[in-house]
Structures are given as C-alpha cells and as structure tokens.
Structure 1
Amino acid sequence: MNKYIAKLREISGKPERLILGLMSGTSLDGLDISLCKVSGTGRSIDIEVIHFTTIEYDTELREKLFAIQSNDKTDTRLLTYLHSELGDLYGGWILNSLDDWGVNTGDVDLIASHGQTVYHAPAETGGSLNATFQIVDGDHIAQSTGIITISDFRQKHTAVGGEGAPLAGIFDEMIFQSESENRMLLNLGGIANFTWLPSKNNGGKIITGDTGPANTLINEAMKKYFERPYDEGGKVAAKGTVHSELVRYVLLEPYFRKPFPKTTGQEDFRLTYIEELMEGHQIKLTPEDLVTSLTAITSQSISRAADEVVGDQDFECYVSGGGVHNKTLMDDLQKRLSQAEFKSFDELGIPADAKEAAMMAFFANELVAGEGFPIPEITDEKIHLGKISLPF
C-alpha cells in the first residue's frame, strides 16, 4: 500500500487533526494561512484557529494574476505557468510560516488549498453547465511541503449541478447557526457574499448568495488612479462625493434583479464596464468621487439584498473579509442595515480575517473524516468536496 494512503487512513481516524487552510480571493491581495486544530465532523465539529497570517502578493505577481483573471481571452502560457509556480510559491510560504510558528511539518496532517479563481461561469452566462476554474496545483504544494494536500473544492459542487459558489453557506450552517439568534454572515472579499441564518427556533429558510462587488471595483480604481492595491481604511472614499446617478445605473443591471440564490464574479463587474457606463451617460468624476461611488455601489447592493432576503426581521450581522477594514464602507452598511446589530466576527470563535481559510480546513476535514453533506435544492445525497494530492 502507498505509505501516504496508509497515512491518510490513519489521519481519518484521529480524534483531532491539524489542518492548514489556505485562501486567496478574487481581490488578489495575498494568501491567508490558517493553522487549525479540528476535532469531530459535521455539526459536531470544533475548529480552533491557533495561528494565522496573510502573505501579501507583490506587485508583479498581482499584475500577472490580474492579467489572467476573469478575461474571455488570456495568455495560456502564463496561465499554465502560474498554476505550477504558485504551487511551489505557496509551499515555500507554508514552510516559512510553520517555522515562524515553531510547528514541525510532520505535525500537520493536511493542507487545504482553495486556489486562485481564474474564471467563474454559471450556466446562465452562456454555457450548458455550471463551471468554475481555480489554479494553484495541489501536487506542487504537496511535493514542496511533504504534506498531503486537498484542493479543487469547487469542482464537485459544479459536478452535481451547483454553481461552485458560494461555498460559505455549507460551512456557515454547520458551524454558526444559532438556536435563538437570527444571523447574517457577510463576507467582503472581491465579491460580496452572505449567508442568512435564521435561528433554529425561527424555522426560516437558510439562503446564501453573492450580492455583487465588494472590493473588486474599488481595488481596480485604486490601482489605476492611485497606484495602491486597495483603499486602506476607506480613506479615499471618505474624501469624495457619491455620484447617485452612476450608482443607480449600476444597480439597474440584470444581476441585481435576479432572485437568490445566485452567484457572480469579476466577469460581470470590471472597472472597464463602469467606465463604459460613465462614457455612455457622459459622467465625469474625479478619482476620489469614483472610489466613493464604487464604495456606495457595494454598500447599497448589499443592503438591497438584505431587504430582499431578510425583510424587516432583526438580526446580528457578522462581517469577515478584507472589506471589514474599510471604515467608510462599514459605516455606510451600518446606517443602511438599521435592523442589524453589527458584532465582531471574533465573537463566533474564528477571527474575521481567518474565516475563509478556516473554511477550507473544514472541507478538507469533511473529505477525509466526515460523512459529507447535502446541497439544498441541488442534491439530497451527501457529497464531499476536494481532490487529494500525495507527496512523492
């Protein structure tokens, strides 16, 4: 028997596993690494983030990824090269992080890598089936670290008829649903997604989906006009004035009229699209006013989604993702979601910045040790997400 198959069998039977979750979102800011202590499975699971770090992408890598992300035509040589290069790069970052934390690689049971999304294509965008594509080769990560690696979590979701996103609804329901408290878990990455978790006593329907852009348009504008990767603290947005007509035109787009659940990506929301809209309506803005207006598009699309799904119900709102550090965005959201009480995501037991990387650890744990889970409205059969890469 392959020694790593035997090791995988041993890992699956352990009462507690040490899993390293990796997440890099569409905002292209960097790699989140969460070292998680995981016990149990399914609704009985317990996840503790014991170490966390974010390694920022440098300008050169960010530009390479931007060149291949969400484009109908791309450089296949660069795409292929980055698939392998990022695997080796991640491996080095992982080893350095473990060394900084004083953790031996032999003590880590699994690596769970989300990968870098290159294209997201629900069937309604013109294909005959749902498809999504992430790069960062799991074999390269496993080979460079010597640790069994799980990757490609979104593919089984599409294979059984789902759109491959957002996966957060499965994780959120398993981990964070409350007996008595209505909750909205909002993630502000490149694209904003949420999970509506009515309390178990409420008996309402759990709904998850993408509301539209979060940081992606803001980041593009910051890169183009300010030569910065993002609007730190929302300071640029705080200086400008919202152009209400531009916001209105964007929110008239068909995606915002579709019912939940639904998913989207940067394929639908690029700065070029905003610029074409501005040209068509003869709108001229200063860079500050553009960033302010893009921030308003994010907050207003989220509040509209909340109105549609939640109505006038009171709820607790827990926010994760890079957008949580944008004070201008968060202040506007709190004004618009007046029925919500905003709370620190850390109160749920997982740091806000570490949430999505910890989610990858959850899915890897379920693949190796759990019974799987159904995907509501798609299949009642219990499925597992992820593919296994063995070292050597």
Structure 2
Amino acid sequence: MNTPAYIGLMSGTSMDGIDAVLVSFLPNELKIHATYSLPYTDTLRQRLTRACLNQATPDEIGELDHELGELFSQTALGVMDEAGVSAGEVTAIGSHGQTLRHQPSGKSPFTLQIGDPNIIAERTGVTTIADFRRRDLAAGGQGAPLVPAFHQSYFSTPAEARCIINIGGIANITWLPGRPQEPALGFDTGPGNALIDAWSHNQTGRLFDDDGHWARTGEINESLLEDMLSDAYFGRPAPKSTGKERFNISWVETVVARHPDVAPADIQCTLVELTARTIAMQLPEADQLKLFICGGGARNSFLLERLQNAAPAARIETTQVLGLDPQWVEGVAFAWLAMRTLGHEPGNLPAVTGASGDRILGAIYQA
C-alpha cells in the first residue's frame, strides 16, 4: 500500500454490530480500501442492553469488555482480509468501543466504552488507539459528539453552509457555517433510531422497523408527541450529549403509560416524528439550509420524509452526494481520529464539546 492506511472501528448506540473501514487520507481527499461489518448476536445485544441499564455486575461488564475486544479484533482482521493487506501495512486502528454509559453532567462526570484495546492490539498486531472521549471530558467537555471534528475536516467548504446530521441510535448535528471566522458547532439532538428500534423490538420482536414500514401504518398522536417533547433534554442549550441511559424502552413505556389508548403502530409513527421534530427544531437558522444525512437513519425513507416535513425549507440529501457512503462516516471518523492522535494533533472541537481547549485524544496501545 503506497499511502498510510488506518482502520476505524465503530459500534454505535444502536448496538447492532461493529463496522470497520480501511482508509487512507490523501491531500484533500480520502480513499476507502475496504469495509467490513460484524453483527452482534441477539444474546450479546441483550446483555449489552442490560449493562446499559445498570443491570449487570462488575464481573459481567468485565467479561463483556473482553468479549468485545475479541469481536473488535475479528472485525479489524476481517477488513484487512477484505483488502488483502497485512498488519504491517496498517498504520493504526482507531476504536471507538461500545458505549455502556455516558453521563457527562453531574458531580462526577464519566463516559464508559468497552472493547479492550489491549486485545485488539494483541490479536491484530496493529497499534490501536482507543478511549477517545475521556480526555475531552477531563478538560470539562461532554466527551461527545466527536465526529464533528472529522465532519469539519472532510465536509466543510467555503462555498456553502452545510449541516451534517448523523442519525444513529442517538442523533447529532454538525453545523459547518462555510465561513472560516465562524466555528463549527454540534451536539446530540436526542434519540435517533434508539426509541424507534426499541419499540419495534418490544412490540414485534423485530430489531428495527425496516424502512419505517410499520410506522407508516400508524398515525402521529399529537398528545403523546407533546408529552415526549416535554423532556427537559430537548430544551437544554448546547454543548450537550446523551445516550441510551436516558432514551430507552423504559422512557417510552413511562410516557406511553400516560396515554393508554394509543395503538402500538401509532406509537411507532409518533416516535419517528419525535426524532424528526427534535432534529428540525434544533437546526441552525439559515436562509438556504442544506442537510446531509449519515448513519442508519439514512436508510429509513419514512424518517427522512418526516424530517423534510418538519424542515420544509431545507434541502435534504445523504452524505453520498458529498463522496462518502452514509454507513461508513463514523468508522472513517475514528480512523481519522487515530491519525490525529499519532500525529500529536487535537481531535476535539471545544466549541462542540465544551472542553476548555483543544486536546489530543485517545490512549495508544502499541502493537
């Protein structure tokens, strides 16, 4: 391989599996050499969900940390095999890990990602960078979202203002104003696919509502929606970040219990509307708003239709039109963050996370 190559490993709040991207960063462009995904088993997903809800012992969390270290390693080896490259041809792996808890506010802020990077470095023979969030947290930041720094590097242009919207389990936006004197901004807007998927699984046994087919059969219940929108998180000013420790099936059931006559399909439809409206109502004000979607939500046409309805003046497309498949944006971002760490360059945006300054992120685990 003629140019340095990095692997990005990403498992988001949807907790459906691990994505790996092998990528090189060239002047003014990037090149994806291969991609690979390893889905989680139903049993593992259930164990992770229990851990996220504080229903796991320290022993169980330790075992999950080890098991996920092995799975992240397998995913990295899988993408190397897809590309036909050896460990010696990969400069580093950037591993986000699997978030179990994210509590950036309060007396003792913390964020917890598992997937032991020692195991990744040992099994792959590639230097691994992980634990990206906690240095930003130590500097007074939210530790999230981190991908806006990559969004700014790859998607920003002085030709126009752009808003990158990542809809994973949690949704976040990055505002790229297009003017060098103005900083990029970003924050978590609230639930993305997390509640949609959780209700689908709770009611139908399906892990997700494919393309929003079930939600389309229902109707938006405005009373239920207003109750959901009353959650204090949505009105909180940035910087802010959240996760499944707040927006989960228990959250849905608590609100739904106050509206006992709403049909399950109507609840599903209303949850889609919740994601769309909470994104739309937190968008920046701009004359010509251009939204570019990435993450799993980019594959839900009903969600995108509702987002367009909630933001009628915006032009909505996916990041594919900007040259990067929406499925792989976050994986590429953590490869990029690994490159920044090795280059002794900061990986956070203090205007986004609220940290007291630029920080080099992540811990290095040598091959």
* TM-score using structure 1 length: 0.88
Task: Report how far residue 145 of structure 1 moved.
Answer: 1.0
Consecutive unaligned residues of structure 2, counting only runs of 5 or more, are none
Contact 1:319 / 1:344 at 8 angstroms: preserved in 2? yes
Aligned to 1:209, the other structure's residue is in SS state: strand
Mean CA deviation greater in 367-376 or 285-294: 367-376
Mean CA deviation greater in 181-190 or 283-292: 283-292
Counterpart code for 2:244: Q
2:338 is the alignment partner of 1:364: yes
Task: Report how far residue 156 of structure 1 moved.
Answer: 0.9
2:198 is the alignment partner of 1:220: yes
Among residues 245, 249, 255, which one is paired with 2:233 in the alignment? 255
Aligned to 1:114, the other structure's residue is in SS state: strand
Aligned residue in 1 for 2:43: 60
2:359 is the alignment partner of 1:383: yes
Among residues 162, 165, 172, which one is paired with 2:151 in the alignment? 172
Counterpart code for 1:95: L
Task: Report how far residue 204 of structure 1 moved.
Answer: 4.4
Aligned residue in 2 for 1:340: 314
Counterpart code for 1:111: I
Aligned to 1:115, the other structure's residue is in SS state: strand
2:99 is the alignment partner of 1:120: no
Mean CA deviation greater in 348-357 or 113-122: 348-357
Task: Report how far residue 222 of structure 1 moved.
Answer: 1.3
Task: Report how far residue 93 of structure 1 moved.
Answer: 2.8
Among residues 176, 187, 200, which one is paired with 1:197 in the alignment? 176
Name the CA shift for 1:116/1:156 in 2 (closer, same or farther; >3 Å). same
Percent identity for Structure 1 against Structure 2: 32
Q: Map 1:232-243; keep pairs closer than 5 Å.
A: 232-243=210-221
Q: Counterparts of 2:34 and 2:156 in 1: how far apart (Å)?
A: 24
Counterpart code for 1:174: S
Q: Counterparts of 1:205 and 1:314 in 2: how far apart (Å)?
A: 18
Q: Which has the larger radius of gyration?
A: 1
Contact 2:141 / 2:355 at 8 angstroms: preserved in 1? no
Q: Counterparts of 2:103 and 2:356 in 1: how far apart (Å)?
A: 24
CA RMSD of the aligned region, Å? 2.0
Q: Counterparts of 1:359 and 1:336 in 2: how far apart (Å)?
A: 28
Name the CA shift for 1:155/1:46 in 2 (closer, same or farther; >3 Å). farther
Q: Counterparts of 2:243 and 2:287 in 1: how far apart (Å)?
A: 28
Contact 1:374 / 1:380 at 8 angstroms: preserved in 2? no
Aligned to 1:186, the other structure's residue is in SS state: strand
Q: Counterparts of 1:263 and 1:232 in 2: how far apart (Å)?
A: 27
Among residues 20, 38, 46, which one is paired with 2:7 in the alignment? 20
2:95 is the alignment partner of 1:95: no
Contact 1:130 / 1:164 at 8 angstroms: preserved in 2? no
Q: Counterparts of 2:177 and 2:112 in 1: how far apart (Å)?
A: 31
Instruction: Count matched residues.
Output: 365
Mean CA deviation greater in 168-177 or 110-119: 168-177
Contact 2:174 / 2:185 at 8 angstroms: preserved in 1? yes
Name the CA shift for 1:379/1:258 in 2 (closer, same or farther; >3 Å). closer
2:113 is the alignment partner of 1:134: yes
2:252 is the alignment partner of 1:269: no
2:294 is the alignment partner of 1:320: yes
Q: Counterparts of 1:169 and 1:129 in 2: how far apart (Å)?
A: 25
Aligned to 1:305, the other structure's residue is in SS state: coil
Name the CA shift for 1:200/1:305 in 2 (closer, same or farther; >3 Å). same
Q: Counterparts of 2:97 and 2:72 in 1: how far apart (Å)?
A: 10
Among residues 81, 88, 95, which one is paired with 1:106 in the alignment? 88
Name the CA shift for 1:374/1:57 in 2 (closer, same or farther; >3 Å). closer
Aligned residue in 2 for 1:9: none
Q: Counterparts of 2:360 and 2:30 in 1: how far apart (Å)?
A: 18
Aligned residue in 2 for 1:185: 164
Aligned to 2:247, the other structure's residue is in SS state: coil
Mean CA deviation greater in 320-329 or 266-275: 266-275
Task: Report how far residue 209 of structure 1 moved.
Answer: 0.5
Alpha-carbon deviations, 1:172-210, whole Å to 9, x = none? 222221102110000000000000111117x54532001
Alpha-carbon deviations, 1:306-333, whole Å to 9, x = none? 1xxx225212111000011011101111
Name the CA shift for 1:210/1:373 in 2 (closer, same or farther; >3 Å). closer
Aligned residue in 2 for 1:36: 23
Counterpart code for 2:333: M
Among residues 48, 65, 75, which one is paired with 1:83 in the alignment? 65
Aligned to 1:19, the other structure's residue is in SS state: strand
Aligned residue in 2 for 1:311: 285
Name the CA shift for 1:389/1:83 in 2 (closer, same or farther; >3 Å). same
Find runs of 4+ consecutive structure 1 residues off by over 6 angstroms: none
Mean CA deviation greater in 26-35 or 72-81: 72-81
* TM-score using structure 2 length: 0.94
Name the CA shift for 1:129/1:176 in 2 (closer, same or farther; >3 Å). farther
Counterpart code for 1:305: Q
Consecutive unaligned residues of structure 1, counting only runs of 5 or more, are 1-13
Task: Report how far residue 246 of structure 1 moved.
Answer: 0.8
Contact 1:218 / 1:231 at 8 angstroms: preserved in 2? yes
Q: Counterparts of 1:190 and 1:51 in 2: how far apart (Å)?
A: 24
Q: Counterparts of 1:247 and 1:331 in 2: how far apart (Å)?
A: 17
Q: Map 1:270-289; keep pairs closer than 5 Å.
A: 270-279=248-257, 281-289=258-266
